[in-house]
A = this chain, B = another copy of it.
Amino acid sequence: MPQDKQTNRRIVLASRPHGAPTEANFRLETGHVPTPSAGQILLRTVWLSLDPYMRGRMSEGPSYVPPVAINEVMGAGTVAIVERSDHPDYAEGDWVVSNSGWQDFALSDGKDLFKLSGPVLKHPSWALGMLGMPGFTAYMGLLDIGQPQPGETVVVAAATGAVGSIVGQIAKLKGCYVVGIAGGADKCRYAEESLGFDRCLDHRAGDFAESLKRHCPEGIDVYFESVGGKVFSAVLPLMNTKGRIPVCGLIADYNSTEPAVGPNQLPQFQGTILRKRLRVQGFIITQDYGHRFGEFFSQMSQWVAEDRFVFREDSVEGLDHAPETFIGMLEGKNFGKVLIRVAGDQP
Given contacts A275-B63, A282-B274, contact A259 B269 (CB under 8 A): no
Residues 238-258 of A, flagged 1 when their CB comes within 8 A of B and 0 if not, give 000000000111100100100
Provide the residues of chain B in CB contact with A248, threshold 8 Å: 274
Residues 273-300 of A, flagged 1 when their CB comes within 8 A of B and 0 if not, give 1111111111110011000000000000
Q: Which of A62, A270, A288 has the most CB of B within 10 A?
A: A270
- Contact A261–B264 (Cβ < 8 Å): yes
Option from B260, B263, B273 in Cβ contact (under 8 Å) with A282: B273
Option from B264, B270, B275, B288 in Cβ contact (under 8 Å) with A264: B264
Residues 199-241 of A, flagged 1 when their CB comes within 8 A of B and 0 if not, give 0000000000000000000000000010011001000000000
Provide the residues of chain B in CB contact with A260, threshold 8 Å: 262-268
Nearest Cβ distance between residue A246 and chain B, in whole angstroms? Answer: 10
Nearest Cβ distance between residue A265 and chain B, in whole angstroms? Answer: 4
Given contacts A250-B271, A253-B271, A271-B253, contact A277 B266 (CB under 8 A): no
- Contact B265–A264 (Cβ < 8 Å): yes
Residue of B nearest to A65 (CB): B275
Provide the residues of chain B in CB contact with A114, threshold 8 Å: none
Nearest Cβ distance between residue A239 and chain B, in whole angstroms? Answer: 11
Q: Which of A56, A261, A271, A284 has the most CB of B within 10 A?
A: A271
Nearest Cβ distance between residue A27 and chain B, in whole angstroms? Answer: 27
Cβ-based interface call for A303 (8 A)? no
Q: Which of A229, A274, A280, A287 has the most CB of B within 10 A?
A: A274
Residue of B nearest to A284 (CB): B277
Specify how many copies of this chain sit in the oligomer.
Answer: 2
Option from B253, B259, B270 in Cβ contact (under 8 Å) with A232: B270
- Contact A287–B283 (Cβ < 8 Å): no
- Contact B288–A277 (Cβ < 8 Å): yes
Provide the residues of chain B in CB contact with A284, threshold 8 Å: 277
Given contacts A261-B262, A270-B253, A275-B62, contact A281 B280 (CB under 8 A): yes
Nearest Cβ distance between residue A231 and chain B, in whole angstroms? Answer: 12
Provide the residues of chain B in CB contact with A250, threshold 8 Å: 267, 270-271, 274
Residue of B nearest to A266 (CB): B265
Provide the residues of chain B in CB contact with A271, threshold 8 Å: 250, 253
- Contact A247–B273 (Cβ < 8 Å): yes
Nearest Cβ distance between residue A282 and chain B, in whole angstroms? Answer: 4
Provide the residues of chain B in CB contact with A259, threshold 8 Å: 262-264
Q: Cα distance A212–B264 when bound, in Å?
A: 23
Provide the residues of chain B in CB contact with A268, threshold 8 Å: 260
Q: Which of A63, A262, A267, A283 has the most CB of B within 10 A?
A: A267
Nearest Cβ distance between residue A130 and chain B, in whole angstroms? Answer: 22
- Contact B275–A64 (Cβ < 8 Å): yes
Q: Cα distance A248–B270 when bound, in Å?
A: 10
Residue of B nearest to A64 (CB): B275
A residues with CB within 8 A of B: 56, 62-64, 225, 228-229, 232, 247-250, 253, 256, 259-271, 273-284, 287-288
6 A-B pairs closest in CB distance: A262-B262, A260-B264, A265-B266, A273-B282, A274-B282, A259-B263
List 16 extra interface pairs beyond A260-B266, A266-B266, CB under 8 A.
Answer: A232-B270, A247-B270, A247-B274, A248-B274, A250-B270, A253-B270, A260-B262, A261-B263, A262-B262, A262-B263, A265-B266, A266-B269, A273-B281, A277-B281, A277-B283, A279-B282
